[in-house]
Amino acid sequence: MTKQIHERQKEIIQKQEILDIAKDTLKQEFIGIDKVIDEVVDAISSWYLFPDLQEKPVVINLWGLTGVGKSSLINRLAQLINFDKKYFHFDLGEGESRDWNIKRKLEEIYENVNGYPIILALDEFQHARTLDETGKEIDKTASRIIWQLLDSGIFQISRHSYHLEELYDLMQKLRYLLKNGVCVSKGKVISKKEYFIEQMDLKNQYMNYEDSEFKLDLSNVLFIPTSYYEAIFSLAKEQFSSKFEVGEILEELNGYGTIKYLFDIFTIGNSPKPVDCSKGLIFVLGNLDEAYTMSNNYNPDMDADEFHQQSMKINVPIIKRALKRRFRNEQIARLGNIHIIYPAFSKNSFRRIIDLELSKIQEKLFHHQKIKLEFDQTIHELIYKEGVYPTQGTRPIFTTIHQIVNTKVGRVFTEMILNNLFASKIVFRAIDDKIIVDYFQSEEKIHSLSILQQLNLENLRKNKQDDVQAITAVHEAGHAIISIILLHTVPEVIFSNTIEAGTAGFVYSKFKWNYISRKEITNRLALFLGGLAAEKFIFGEENVTTGAEDDIEKATNFITEMLKQSGMGKLPAAYHNKDLHSRNYIYDENDNLGKEAEAWISKALNLAENTLKEQEVLLLKMADYLSDNRTMNKEQLSQLLEKYAYNFEFETLIENGDLLFYRNQLKEKVEALSEKTGNILSMDSFEISLNKTFGNKI
C-alpha cells in the first residue's frame, strides 16, 4: 500500500513538472497572453493531476477576437501535456458538413477513448446559438448533443451502421438453411455442406485443386463465414476484448444458438451508443461581438493600444450578458463559471509577434542554407504598417510576412546562383515601395538586389491634398472642436484621410465618464453635427456635402433613444412604434416625441454653429493642417489650442471623470442634513433593501 502511495505521489510530481514546462513553453510561443496562459493552466491542473476524481466534465470558456490564438493555444497545450492523440476538435461553424463532422468525432471517441480522460474543443461556439437576434428560439436539434456533453458528459448517439442491414440479411439466410436441413455443431456445418456452400455463394472460398481438377473442401465449413466477423465486432465493440473473441464465441454454438447470438448483436447494434466523456476537459472557444464591441471596426489606422485598453475592461458579467443574446439561461449555466477573456493585442504585442515570426524564418534558412539572414528595422515597420488590423489578430500579419519576405526568398537565392555569389549574410531592408536585399561576405557588401513591393495600405495612406481631403479636414476639425469646447475632451487623434472603405476620416475621443446626463444631451448632439456645421460655415450652405450622412443618422438615433428609452423627454416613459410587438411600451400616436427630437437637433445644430464661429481661427488652422497632413495627434491638438483657441482654459478639460459631481453632491447633501438636524444618522443599525418595492426588484 505504501508503495502504491509513493508511486502515486511520484506521478503527481511528474505531472506538475509537465504542467510547469507547458506553461513556460506556451509563454515563449504565444505573445501577449501570459495572463490567459496562467489562467488556462491553473484551470486544468486539478483535471490533469486527479482525473479519476472527476464525475463531470471540466468546462473552460475562452472568449476573444478572431486571430488571438484561442484554437492554436489549446492545440499546442494538448501536445505539451501528451494529450494530442486524445484531443478532439469540433468546428461549430455554419458549414453544411458541421453536424456530420460532430457525429464522426463522437464515433471516434466512443470507439477509442470512451470513459477515459480526453480533451475536447468546441470551436466557433457563437454559431451554436439557440436564440436569434430577436430573442426567438432557433430549432437546432443537432446541437442538443453539445449541451448534453457540457452538462454530464454522458449521452447516447445513434449507430446507423450499414452493417445492420448486412447482419439482418445473414440471419434470414441462415434461418432458411436451418429449416431446410442444414445442421450445425460448435460453429461448423455438419450436414448438407455442399447445399450450404452453394446457397451462401461460397464456392470460391472452399474450392481446392486436386488431381488436375477443382473439388470442394468440406472438412471445415464455418456456419458464419469469417468475412462477417468485422461486421459483428463493429456493431458491438463494447462486448468484445478483441476481434478474435468473435470467432471463439461462434465456435461454441449450434445453429439456432448462433441465430440467437446474432439477434443479440443486431439488437445492440440497433440501439444508441453510450458515449462517456464525463472525465473530459472541454474548451469552449468563441468570438462574442456583443462583448467585443470593437470587433466590427476593421480600420488599420486605429491605434492597437486603444482596442487593447477597451478589451481589458471586458469582464465575466459582460461576457454572460453577451451570451444571453445567443443562448437560454439554463444553457449559459451549463457553461459554468470559468470564463477566460483574451485581450486585444497591444502595439507592443503585435511588434513582438512580428519579431518572433521573422526569427523563425531566420532559423529555418540558417538550418537549410547555413546563411545568416537579417531584417532591418524598416522591414519590421513595413510589416506592421501593412499587416496590422488591430481587431483581426495575427492572421493578417502572417500573410503579410509571407507576401513581403517568404515570396522573395526564392528570387534572393536564385540571384546568388546566377551571379556566383558566396554570401555569409543577407540583409533585407525597405525603401519606399522596394525591398532591398544586400549580400555580405563577412562584413563587406558584395551585391544588392532591388525588388518592387506592392503596398496595399501605405499607398492608400498617402496624402491626397485634394478637395476630398480638404472637405474631410474641415468636417473632422468641426467634430474635434466641439469635443474640446463643449465636452471638455481633447481627441486622441484626428484623421483626414483613412484606409477604411467608406470612411474619409474620423475623430477618436475618449470621454472620461461612463454615463450621460440630461445637461450634456445637447452637447452630445452638437458633437455629432459638428462636421456638418463646420462645412456649412467654411464652404457655405450651398456647398455642404453628403459626408455628414452617417453623423445625422447617429444624432437621430441618439436623441430618439434618449427620449423613447432613457426617459429624457418630458415624460419618463418607454415608447415604441405601433407596428412592433409593443405591449410594454407607450405608442406615441401624435408623434410628439418626433417633434421634441427635432427641437433638440435644431438646438444642437445652432449650438455647434455658434461654437465654431467663435472658434473660427482654431477651426481654420486645424483644417488647414489636416488638408495637407492626414493625421493630427493629441499633443499637436494641444499646441493648436494653446495658440488659437478663443476664451479657452486648459483647466476646463476633464482628465478624470470619476469625481465630477455626483459623489460630492451626495456628500454635501448629507453634511447639510447633519448641520440641520444636529447629528449624523447612523445606518449601521438598519437593514434596508434599496431595490425593494412591493416585493419586486427595480
Both 29 and 153 in one domain: the answer is yes
For the segment 415-443, what is each residue's pLDDT rounded down to a tens digit?
999 999 999 999 999 999 999 999 999 88
For range 374-397, the mean pLDDT: 94
Both 486 and 393 in one domain: the answer is no
The better pLDDT of the pair 578, 405 is held by 405
Q: Answer whether residue 683 shows pLDDT above 70.
A: no
Cβ neighbours for 100, distance < 8 A, ≥ 6 positions apart? none
Both 514 and 555 in one domain: the answer is yes
For range 535-560, the mean pLDDT: 93
pLDDT for the residue numbered 92: 87
Q: How many residues does the chain have?
A: 698
The better pLDDT of the pair 585, 242 is held by 242
Both 503 and 641 in one domain: the answer is yes
pLDDT for the residue numbered 240: 81
Residue 116 pLDDT grade (very low, low, confident, very high; cuts 50, 70, 90): confident
Using the CB atoms, write b or e for 596-621: b if 16+ within 10 Å.
Answer: bbeebbeebbebbbebbebbeebbeb
pLDDT for the residue numbered 242: 80
C-alpha pair distances (Å), 473 with each of 169, 178, 300, 497: 81, 95, 19, 8
Residue 554 forms part of a structural domain: yes
Given 271, 291, 312, which residue is the final one in a domain?
A: 271
Q: Which three cell numbers stand for residue 403?
A: 507576401
Both 151 and 175 in one domain: the answer is no
CB neighbourhood size of 29 (10 A):
14
Domain hosting residue 448, numbered range: 347-460
pLDDT for the residue numbered 216: 77
pLDDT for the residue numbered 203: 85
pLDDT for the residue numbered 688: 42
φ/ψ (deg, to 5) at 592: -65, -35
Residue 508 forms part of a structural domain: yes
Cα separation, 209 vs 54, whole angstroms:
62
Lowest mean pLDDT among 268-277, 349-358, 379-388, 626-635: 268-277
pLDDT for the residue numbered 28: 95
For the segment 482-506, what is each residue's pLDDT rounded down to a tens digit?
999 999 999 999 999 988 777 889 9
Angle between helices 144-151 and 98-112 (to 10 degrees): 40
CB neighbourhood size of 275 (10 A):
21
Evaluate if pTM is beyond 0.85. no
Cα separation, 568 vs 390, whole angstroms:
36
Cα separation, 15 vs 47, whole angstroms:
11
Both 87 and 132 in one domain: the answer is yes
Both 76 and 53 in one domain: the answer is yes
pLDDT for the residue numbered 96: 55
Residue 669 forms part of a structural domain: no
Residue 671 forms part of a structural domain: no
Q: Answer whether residue 614 shows pLDDT above 80.
A: yes
Residue 673 forms part of a structural domain: no
For range 216-232, the mean pLDDT: 87
Reduce the DSSP state of residue 126 to 3 states and report it. Answer: helix
Q: Answer whether residue 685 shows pLDDT above 70.
A: no
Residue 294 pLDDT grade (very low, low, confident, very high; cuts 50, 70, 90): confident
Q: In the chain, what percentage of residues exceed pLDDT 90?
A: 59
Given 296, 317, 341, which residue is the final one in a domain?
A: 341
The better pLDDT of the pair 539, 209 is held by 539
Residue 518 forms part of a structural domain: yes
Residue 677 forms part of a structural domain: no
pLDDT for the residue numbered 562: 93
Looking at residue 50, its amino acid is F
Which helix (H) or strand (E) segment is 165 a member of? Answer: helix 163-179
Both 624 and 483 in one domain: the answer is yes
Lowest mean pLDDT among 96-100, 280-284, 521-525: 96-100
Both 108 and 26 in one domain: the answer is yes
Residue 664 forms part of a structural domain: no
Lowest mean pLDDT among 1-5, 27-31, 534-538, 603-607: 1-5
Closest to 110 in 3D by CA, of 80, 154, 57: 154
pLDDT for the residue numbered 165: 85
For the segment 35-66, what is each residue's pLDDT rounded down to a tens digit?
999 999 999 999 999 988 888 999 999 999 99
pLDDT for the residue numbered 573: 86
Q: What is the 3-state secondary structure (H, E, C) of 456-525?
A: CCHHHHCCCCCHHHHHHHHHHHHHHHHHHHCCCCCCCEEECCCCCCCCCCEEECCCCCCCCCHHHHHHHH
Cα separation, 541 vs 152, whole angstroms:
67
CATH label of the domain that carries residue 405: 1.10.8.60
Where are the alpha helices (H) located in 275-388, listed in sequence order? 304-311, 316-323, 329-334, 347-369, 377-387
For range 566-584, the mean pLDDT: 74
Q: Answer whether residue 338 shows pLDDT above 70.
A: yes
At residue 335's C-alpha, the angle toward residues 698 and 75, to 5°, is 145
Outline where DSSP puts E strands in 504-606: 506-508, 575-576, 586-587
Both 282 and 337 in one domain: the answer is yes
pLDDT for the residue numbered 41: 96
Q: Answer whether residue 697 shows pLDDT above 50.
A: no
What's the number of domains the chain is made of?
A: 4
Both 335 and 483 in one domain: the answer is no
- What does pLDDT average to over the chain? 88
CATH label of the domain that carries residue 322: 3.40.50.300
pLDDT for the residue numbered 209: 61
For the segment 189-201, what is each residue's pLDDT rounded down to a tens digit?
999 988 998 899 8
Given 233, 254, 271, which residue is the final one in a domain?
A: 271
**Which DSSP state fits 594?**
H
Both 572 and 484 in one domain: the answer is yes
Looking at residue 401, its amino acid is I
